[in-house]
Each structure stands twice: as C-alpha cells, then as structure tokens.
A and B are shown apart, each in its own frame.
Chain A
Amino acid sequence: MKNHPVIDVHGHWGPWFFAMDIGDVAENLRVMDEWGISLQIVSASEAVTYDAPGGNAKLAEILAANPRLRGYLVANPNDPAATEADLKRYAGSGLFCGVKIHTGYPRREISSPQMRDTFALLDEYAATILIHTWGGDVLDLPGLLAANPRLRVIAAHMGANRWDLAAEAARGCDRLYLEPSCSITDAGQVAHVAARVPATQLLFGTDATLIDPAVSFGLVEDAALDPATAEALYWRNAAALFDLAAPAQAAYAAR
C-alpha cells in the first residue's frame, strides 16, 4: 500500500475469452482494494475485442454505479460514425474521461489511414487516448500527435517488447505518455524509460483485470524511482491529465 493515492490509467471491466473468472465489477474492486488503487480508468473488454458501441453502453451502466471507476470509450478505427455517435451520446455524462483504441482486434496499425482519420476525428474533441502499442509502432505516435495538436496520447504497455523505442518516442513529444502494464517483464524497462522521459509523462497502468496489478507494481518497484518521480507516476500525472485530483484524494482518504 502506498502512502498516497494511486490512479490506474489502464483497466478493464468485463469478461475475456480466456479461462479466467474475472468478469464481474467486484473483481475490479477486489484488486483495487488489495493493491490500494484509488481510481481505475477502464474500458469494456467486449468493446475492445468485438462490439465497441455495445460494450460502451454496458460499461456506462457499471460506471454510473461505481464511483471509483472512470471509463474509456472504445473507438473502433473501422467505424468512425459509431465513435462519433458515442462521443456525442456520453458527452457531459461525467462517466467517460478518455478514448481507448486497440490495434490488434480491429486489425489496424497505428500507421493505417483508418487510424489517421480516427485521430483527426478525436482531435476535434480534444480527446485523451489510450492506445495499444507493441513493438516499433510506438514510433508512429509522435507524427500523429504533431498532426493533431489537441490530442494527448498514452502509449499502453509502453511499446511492450520495445520499451526502448517508447522512450525515444516520448522524450521528444510532451503530449505522449507511457504506462508499463504488460506480461513482458523485461528487467529494468521502467528505470530505462524514467531515465529518458520527463517524469511528467509517466503514468501507472495495470491492464487489470486481465492482468493482476502485482505485475505493474512489481515493474515500478524494481525501478527504484525517487519518491517524487514515483508519486508523479502513480497518481499526480494522471490526476492532472484527467482532472481527477479531488476524487483520487477522496478515495484514498476513504480507504
């Protein structure tokens, strides 16, 4: 348990298609309590993997009943009309604070024309995007951000097996943030990134409830960050990015 709030910027709600018994929101709350996570920003697994509007609608009901959760609307880059409809549907609801985009399930690379058009659409809404990155595709993000000056983007998994490239991408682009959640636990990756990327661009994500928060907490702990950088990563940066300082502190105080 930390002596400060923790904001998890990469969470999920709902069941997956693996042999896991984790679909209920109670599992989100259980791991949050176990690890001292004050707030978790989640996307619906169904929306990520299959049906974006359908999953977003189900998640909206969960969010309304669970004040420690905030939502990402999932945008399918192959369906910009549905994305825009959802953006309008939930504007002002206070339930969603960002947009999640995967690349694998919709089979669209970050460099694809569909992604270019989706980013342009989201720029009109000044969105904060959490996007799946894996390998060298993280290097495509600075160009997309340059073309869309109102966006801020979190590179999920900080490039996974190419966290070195994620550091390269983020060090020259102050609207690109990195979070470490991943099954890949290469030694020293968080320390490598933290030595090269401004501390203001580091965030904490777990990929829970797909992955246990132990993994991300372990990656950060082994980086032995100085206390100010660790606090920035664990919550202060996310609080500023998503305007969550007050609710994070309230959730921390209530634990």
Chain B
Amino acid sequence: MRADPIRYDCDTLCGTWPARAELDFRPAAVRAKLTAAGIETGLVCSGRGAWFDDVDGNTETLAAGPGFLPVATINLRHALRAEAELDRMVAAGVRAVRLFGPLQGCEPVFPGYRHVVDAVLARGLLPLVEGDVRGCWPAFADRGARVVFLDVHAYHVADFVLLARREPGFVASTRLLNAPDSIETVVGEVGAEHLVFGSRTPLHDTSPATLRMRGARLSDADWAAVTGGTLEALLEKP
C-alpha cells in the first residue's frame, strides 16, 4: 500500500453542517484530519454557502487558511446575484466553484442552475458538481467544459466512462468509486486525466477514501495524476 502524500483532495468542507452538528467543521480540525491522512491540500468550501448564504459562506471559505484551496459556492436558489459573486471570487483568486444542487433542491434543468453553469464556465472556473452524474451531465455537455463530478458511484462507472469518452474535460472524484476495480476501470478505460481524489472530510470518514486510493492498482504516473496532477491541470486557467 502506498504511503506517498496525496497532494490534493477535491472534496473537503468547513464551517458548520446542521445535519451533523456534532462534527467539528472548524478549519483547524479539518486540517488536522487531512494531515493525519497524508493529504496536503484540500479544496474547501464552507457549509454556510451551501445551506444558507453564499456571500458570507464564500468569505468564510476565503479565511480557511493554510493547507486549503478555497472553492466558491453559489446559491442556486438565488441565481440573480451569481455573476457579481463569481466576479468577487475570481478577483480573490478563486479557481473553482462547488454546486450543491441536491442539497439546495435545484435540478440541472432549472433556469437558475443553467444560468450559474453558464456564468461559471464563462469565467473559466472549474465546477465541482454534487449529484448523480447520470442526471446532471447535460448541463455541461458539448461545450468543452472541464468539470469534476463529486458523486460518481461504482454502480455508474459504465455511464461515466461513456461520457468521458466524448467529453475530454469530464472528471470523476474517487470517493464513491468503491468497488474493488472501479478506480482501475476508469483509469484503464479513459485515463487518469479523468479522475481526481476526493474524501468529503469531515462530513464523511477520511480513511475509506484514502485506503482505497492507496491500494489502487495503478502505475506510479497514474497514481500521481489522480492524487494531484489531474486537478492541478484542471485548475490552470484555460
């Protein structure tokens, strides 16, 4: 099993989380969990933005501190101010945006969702997308989009591979690719440029994702890509 550092985790959270009020979402506590798991940098987003207020949430995210790369969120239920908030975050140096569609009750076909996707892609930001990839992919298709789908499940590997074959920028998080061969299948079918490591710390336990990643039967180059290089390339300005 590999002991190398995992350079990037695409899926970490801070702030508070009302459904799991007993968990410690303070940045220092999250940072400690990531460090213990050998994860160098977490792409982090505040739960405040997901649940309640995107502007205040994004300000909270920007203050997360060292060891994090801040990720904006946009309230899909209040898309009228999306562009102004995205511009504010771009000016602050943010390179990625997380869309909490299922948590906010917003389907990819809703006008607000479509508007936000257009605004995100127009600014060259990387969307990190929650929800079933089989339903949310059309909002990003046929436009050269680079997208990380955070909830691709082992059960949906066939659908994701078929999408990735036609969309070079479609990327899955490893978190739910938990069959004994699903990480290997995605890399084997479409390449390590379609996969990035994610754990959803601290909402989820960290070790299920890290142990699976560390045991993945990949070449050194592919393992390095999934745990860092692929995400680094995605975050470069187009």
Interface residues of A (CB under 8 A from B): 18-22, 27, 30-31, 34, 183, 185-189, 208-212, 214-219, 221-222
Contact = CB atoms under 8 A, between A and B. Distances in A.
Contact of A183 (B153, B161, B181, B205): B153
Contact of A214 (B22, B23, B208): B208
A239 to B, nearest CB: 24
B212 A212 contact: yes
B23 A188 contact: yes
Given A188-B23, A209-B180, A211-B154, A34 B203 contact: no
Nearest to B208: A218
Contacts of B154: 18, 20, 183, 211
Interface of B: 20, 22-23, 153-155, 157-158, 161, 176, 178-182, 185, 200-212, 215
Contact of A185 (B153, B179, B209): B209
A20 B206 CA distance: 24
Given A20-B154, A20-B180, A216-B208, 19 more contacts: A19-B158, A30-B180, A34-B215, A183-B176, A185-B208, A186-B20, A186-B204, A186-B205, A187-B205, A188-B205, A189-B205, A209-B180, A214-B215, A215-B208, A217-B211, A218-B208, A219-B207, A221-B211, A222-B205
A218 B179 contact: no
Contacts of B215: 34, 212, 214
Given A183-B154, A187-B203, A27 B22 contact: no
A20 to B, nearest CB: 5
Contacts of A209: 179-180
Nearest to A1: B1
Contacts of B206: 218, 222
B212 A215 contact: yes
B211 A19 contact: no
Contacts of B161: 19
Given A19-B157, A22-B181, A218 B210 contact: yes
26 contacts: A18-B155, A18-B157, A20-B181, A21-B181, A21-B185, A22-B179, A22-B181, A30-B180, A31-B180, A183-B153, A183-B154, A187-B20, A187-B202, A187-B205, A188-B23, A189-B205, A210-B179, A211-B178, A211-B180, A212-B178, A215-B211, A215-B212, A217-B211, A218-B207, A218-B210, A222-B208
A94 B17 CA distance: 49
A216 B209 CA distance: 10
A90 to B, nearest CB: 28
A214 B157 contact: no
A210 B205 CA distance: 20
B209 A22 contact: no
Contacts of A214: 178, 208, 211-212, 215
Contact of B179 (A212, A217, A221): A212
Residue of B157, B182, B204, B208 with highest tally of chain A CB at under 10 A: B208
B205 A219 contact: yes
A210 B154 CA distance: 9
A20 B153 CA distance: 12
B20 A18 contact: no
A-B pairs, top 6 by smallest CB distance, nearest first, are: A218-B207, A218-B208, A19-B158, A214-B212, A214-B211, A222-B205
A219 B181 CA distance: 19
B218 to A, nearest CB: 14
A22 B180 contact: yes
A19 B201 CA distance: 27
A183 B157 contact: no
Contacts of A30: 180
Nearest to A217: B211
Contact of B180 (A19, A185, A212, A221): A212
Residue of B20, B207, B209 with highest tally of chain A CB at under 10 A: B207
